[in-house]
Structure formats: structure tokens, C-alpha cells
Amino acid sequence: MANPNIDGISKTSFSIHGVGVSSGIAIGHAHLVSNALREVVHYQLQQYAIAEEVARFEQAVITVKTELEAIRKQLPKSAPAELGAFIATHLMMLADKSLSEVPKNIILKEQCNAEWAIKLQMDDIVDQFEQIEDEYLRERKQDVVQVVERVIKVLLGHPNQAPNIKNSQSSNKEQESAIILVAHDISPADAIQFKQHQFAAFITDVGGVTSHTAILARSLNIPSIVALQRARDLVRDGELIIVDGGMGVVIVNPSPEILAEYKLRQEEWELEQQKLKRIKSNKAITMDGTPIALFANIEVPEDVDAVKASGATGIGLYRSEFLFMNRREMPDEEEQFIAYKTVVEAMNDLEVTIRTLDLGADKQMNPETVSNCANPALGLRAVRYCLSEPQIFHTQFRALLRASHFGQLKILVPMLCTLAELRQTKLLLERAKISLRKENIPFDENIALGGMIEIPAAAINANAFARELDFLSIGTNDLIQYTLAIDRTDDAVAHLYNPLHPSVLHLISLTLQAGAKLGKTVSICGEMAGDTKLTKLLLGMGLRHFSMHPSNLLSVKQQVLQSDVNKLSVAARKILNNDEIEKIELLVNKMNH
């Protein structure tokens, strides 16, 4: 693979291979998303260049100050007060001598570049914050990091995270649709912000096929590829690139012939998507007359439009944690209530299942926060975190209960492992009900409570959970991760992540059997539900409730309409009786063809 020519006179075409996480073909120009702190390098300066370097640093500080002042002036009157305070804090830090003057002294003393000097100073300040016992004050170190990142981006000559497009709204969309974001990594918090834009695609150096960033990529319904290793280094800003999400291939500086071929493929892909819309109003019923419920997953209230466009039965998973992200403070009860009520009312009395807060692992409230836990996926997350912070749980339960008065709202609790956790949760839910009754605030007294089966221990003990819950939902992403001991965010082991591992299938089967035995609905809300290669297998195993991103729903419905459950159940039994992944994969392929 040849590198592109640095001088820009001749451009070499080359391809990079990664892991496709969202299908489709995008053609556009690369926009490099900066990760400033990772890009800082140290170099020595000649004596004559030091004064110029100090001046460069001073100008960068002035530029950032001007940017922040402009942002503050542009804040709408309706903006939360904390946004203005947040910007004021950054301006105050930027004016402090520890950031505006000390780095200049470091440049003079060590004869180093400005980026390195301010990063050294940042590290020193962060270390000082780490010594503070008060947790709130200790976390203010993130403000320092963010201010320094802004200065370093200016010094490195990088644009902001998202391209700065200043024309009319319609031209914004046109320009964004020709932009492909190229990053070392994109956090789930960043990906949520991208929902406000209409970028053509995004690609990253790292990531796994079921990381939360990949899941969000699918919800954006744009071609996306992760685990490209060195794309951020090899691709230059503004270069024409092709992203083939289905094949996991990025082509940089394509030849006219390749470009023409991919434009044709892109048109064919879009035509297929248009054809699928013809079955939107069709009921999801198999050829032998078995009705299937197809629900949609959402992250933010604005996703409801996509749910309606897909013709979904309802919302099977509303990931409420995204309401908590990209901010310093927890949303209060009123803010949560309004968000939940908005979704419930918009769905016109269709079911809406809202998952309680599932922060932890690669989803942090503050995107700059780094967990001190050696393995965040096994740490204090989801229901464990909520039970350790009962006031947070109480506030969310009150908001959910209040919203239940306005439609069919169901509550789903993530990452249950023991019956003790479930009973503690039910006790806190009851306390929230009591508090609302005292205030004469109406809510659904018979609100359904469900639990996510995503830990192997819970799947093995599914009968016990089914007895105490109104419904179950299998979170296959974490279930596979925990069963196979594979970090789903780590591209180094991505090839080992396999939903067709016999142990995974047996745990799913155990859960489905428990639901059938006790008359409780069981759904799958993980990525397996939206994978059309697995639809027939899951139907054969007894799954009747699927929940997936709206963009996958019509493709899955097409599979449902072409299926015969009686025949599939016979084939599924053969698969469940097999112990070898390779043979299982062959049998699944045979089932699909």
C-alpha cells in the first residue's frame, strides 16, 4: 500500500481495510477530527526561534479567547445557564497565569515547542487536582484539559471537531453530506453530537463492531468503518475518499474508473433502500401466519421521527443514558420527565420501553472522564451504579412514573445479575411511587418492569428473573462480551466476537424457554436483532419480539415475510445441538438460502 504524495502534486490511490459497522457507500472529502493531546510531539528549538515560538503561543491563547467569547455571545437566551457558566470558567482558566504565562517560561527554559510546553504544564496542574480529596473539585481538572486541548488545536492548525459551515441551512446539509469524518476514535458522546449533522460517513482507527460508538453509527444510518489502524495518519484533510461500509474498505484518491464504479454501486444501494419502503405498512407476519413484533431502539427523543418512518411496532429500547452525556451535571427530574413524556406522547399510545441509566464502560457522563477502574465493563456501571447512588435512581424513577401517565411506558433495568439487585430496585421503584402518591401526581399504577439479560449468570438463572419481572429483554452485545471474555470495544480481539458461538446461542435459548414457560414476553434489543443474517435463526429459536435501530427494521421485516417458523424451528434445533462454530455458520447460511 503506497502512501499519498505529501507535496499534493500527484495523489496516489490506495485502500485501507477495517471492520464495517454500518452498511452503505459514501463518497466525499475527508475531514480529520483532531485528538490534539495524542498528536503533541516534543522538539528542540534553535535559540533564534524561541521568541517566535513564544509569540505563536500568545497568539494561540488570543485565538481561543476570541473563539470562546464569540460562542458566549451566540448562546440563545433559552440556553441552560450552565452553558454560559461553563464558557466563563474556561475563559477564567485561560486568563490564569498558570496557563497563559507559565508555558512561555517553559518554552524559554527548555527551548521546546509551544504544544509540548502547555501539555507539560497541563500535566502538572492535573496532578495537583488529583491530590484534592473533594470529588467535585477534583473533577474540575477536566476543564483544564479541555482549555489546553483548544489551545493545542490552534497551535497544530486543526479545525474544530465538526466542520465550520457558515452558509444557509440547506447548503449546510449539502456540504455536510459530502464530508467523511476521519478520527483516531470517536466517543459515544461525540457520536451523539453528530446526530445534529448529516455527514456522509465516519471512519476510525480503533473500535469494535459492537462498541457503543459502532451502535450509534448504525443509528445514524450512515456508512461507518472502525479498526482501520492508521487511517487518521494516512488520510489527508480534504482528500476524496470512498467508504464501503458493507465490505469494510476505504479507498483514498480513487481513480476515475473506480469512482465511476462506486457511484453506480451507491445508486444501486439507494435503490434497494427505496424498494424496502414498499413493505413499511405490511404487517410483520411469517408465511405460516406467525405475527412478529418489530420494535425500534433510540438514543435521543429526536430519533422518534426515524422510528415512525420505519413503521415500528413501538420503541423496545430507549437508552436514557444519552440524556446524561455531554454535560457536567445530572439532568433533574423535570428535564428527564419532559424528555420521556415527549417520546411517549409522540408514539401515539404505542409501547415505549425506557432503560434506566446505563452509564459506565465506554459511556461516561463527561466525555473527558477516564474511569479509574482497570476494567470498566466489569466495574460500577448500570444498575450497580444506580443502586450505589439511590438518589439518582429515585429521581429517574419519579420522572419515568410521571411520564407513564401519558402513554404505554415500560421500565427496563440493565445488567441485572442477582435477585437481590432486582429486589432492591423494586423497593426503590415502590418508594418513588409512594412519594408521587403523597403529592397526588398521577402515574400508571400497573407499570411493567422488565430486566435485561446480558450477564451469563442472569441467563442461566432466567427462570428466577422471569418469575419476578413482567418481561425480559436480552442484551446480546454484553451477553456475548461477558460469555466469550472479549472486550467489544477492542479491535485487537474483534475477530473473536461471534454471536454464533454455541454458548451464546444456548444462553439465548435458555432465556427464551424461561419466558415461554412462565408466559413472559422476551425480546432481543442487542445488535443481533437487527442482523438480517440471524433473523431466521432467531425466529426458529422462538424469538417473537425484535428491537433494533430503525434503519435495520425494514430489512428484518423482509426476512420475516419470507420465513416459515415451523420449518425454521426444525433447523434451529439442529444448530443448537451443534458444538462447533464452523458447522453452525454453515447451517445458518443454509437456513438463509
What mean pLDDT is predicted for residues 521-534?
96
Q: How confident is the model at residue 164 (pLDDT cuts 50, 70, 90)?
A: very low
Residue 7 lies in a domain: no
Place of cell 515560538: 53
pLDDT of residue 242: 97
Residue 381 in this model has a pLDDT that exceeds 70: yes
Residue 323 in this model has a pLDDT that exceeds 90: no
Q: Grid coordinates standing for 241?
A: 475518499
What mean pLDDT is predicted for residues 152-163?
67
Residue 441 in this model has a pLDDT that exceeds 60: yes
Query: Of 212, 386, 545, 549, which one is the catalytic site residue?
Result: 212
Residue 2 lies in a domain: no
Q: How confident is the model at residue 51 (pLDDT cuts 50, 70, 90)?
A: very high
Is residue 179 domain-shared with residue 307, that is, in the same domain? no
pLDDT of residue 126: 86
pLDDT of residue 78: 59
More confident residue, 332 or 233: 332
Is residue 248 domain-shared with residue 317, that is, in the same domain? no
pLDDT of residue 9: 39
User: Active-site residue 212, yes or no?
Assistant: yes
Lowest mean pLDDT across 160-169, 365-374, 513-522, 548-557 = 160-169
Structural domain including 141 reads 38-156
- Beta-carbon contacts of residue 94 (< 8 Å; ≥ 6 apart): 61, 64, 65, 68, 100, 147, 151
Is residue 259 domain-shared with residue 366, that is, in the same domain? no
Domain's final residue, options 114, 138, 156: 156
Q: How confident is the model at residue 504 (pLDDT cuts 50, 70, 90)?
A: very high
What mean pLDDT is predicted for residues 3-14?
55
Is residue 323 domain-shared with residue 174, that is, in the same domain? no
pLDDT in tens, 73-117: 876 665 556 567 778 888 998 999 999 999 999 999 999 999 999
Q: Is 449 helix (H, G, I), strand (E, B) or coil?
A: strand
Task: Report DSSP state, residue 209.
Answer: T
The pLDDT > 70 percentage for the chain reads 85
What mean pLDDT is predicted for residues 10-33?
87
pLDDT of residue 178: 84
Task: Report DSSP state, residue 133.
Answer: S
Domain's final residue, options 156, 187, 207: 156
pLDDT of residue 343: 97
More confident residue, 129 or 440: 440
pLDDT in tens, 547-571: 999 989 999 999 999 999 999 999 9
Residue 208 in this model has a pLDDT that exceeds 80: no
Is residue 19 domain-shared with residue 84, that is, in the same domain? no
Mean pLDDT of the chain: 87
For residues 289 and 286, what is the distance between their CA atoms, to the nearest angstrom?
5
Number of structural domains (the chain) is 3
469 forms bridges with which residues in the sheet? none
Burial pattern 37-66, b for ≥16 Cβ within 10 A else e, equals eeebeeeebeeeebeebbebbeebbeebbe
pLDDT of residue 212: 61
**pTM for this prediction:** 0.72
CATH (domain of 135): 1.10.274.10
CATH (domain of 219): 3.50.30.10
Lowest mean pLDDT across 50-54, 60-64, 379-383, 392-396 = 379-383
Lowest mean pLDDT across 133-137, 248-252, 546-550 = 133-137
Is residue 529 domain-shared with residue 486, that is, in the same domain? yes
Is residue 513 domain-shared with residue 465, that is, in the same domain? yes
Residue 263 lies in a domain: yes
Lowest mean pLDDT across 81-90, 377-386, 575-584 = 81-90
Can you list the pairs that 49-56 forms with residues at least 24 positions away whose Cβ atoms lie under 8 Å? 50/107, 50/108, 50/111, 53/107, 53/113, 53/114, 54/104, 54/107, 54/108, 54/114, 56/114, 56/155
Strands 249-252 and 240-244: antiparallel
Positive or negative, the CA dihedral 18, 22, 28, 32 is negative
Residue 500 in this model has a pLDDT that exceeds 70: yes
Residue 161 in this model has a pLDDT that exceeds 70: no
Is residue 516 domain-shared with residue 416, that is, in the same domain? yes
Residue 592 in this model has a pLDDT that exceeds 90: yes
- The distance in angstroms from the start CA to the end CA of the chain is 36
pLDDT of residue 8: 40
User: Active-site residue 90, yes or no?
Assistant: no
Mean pLDDT: which of 3-7, 92-96, 187-191, 256-260 is highest?
A: 256-260
CATH (domain of 358): 3.20.20.60
pLDDT of residue 2: 40
Query: Of 31, 525, 545, 549, which one is the catalytic site residue?
Result: 525
Is residue 505 domain-shared with residue 455, that is, in the same domain? yes
Residue 370 in this model has a pLDDT that exceeds 70: no
pLDDT in tens, 265-298: 999 999 998 999 999 999 999 999 999 999 999 9
Looking from the CA of 40 toward its CB, the CA atoms found within 13 Å total 21
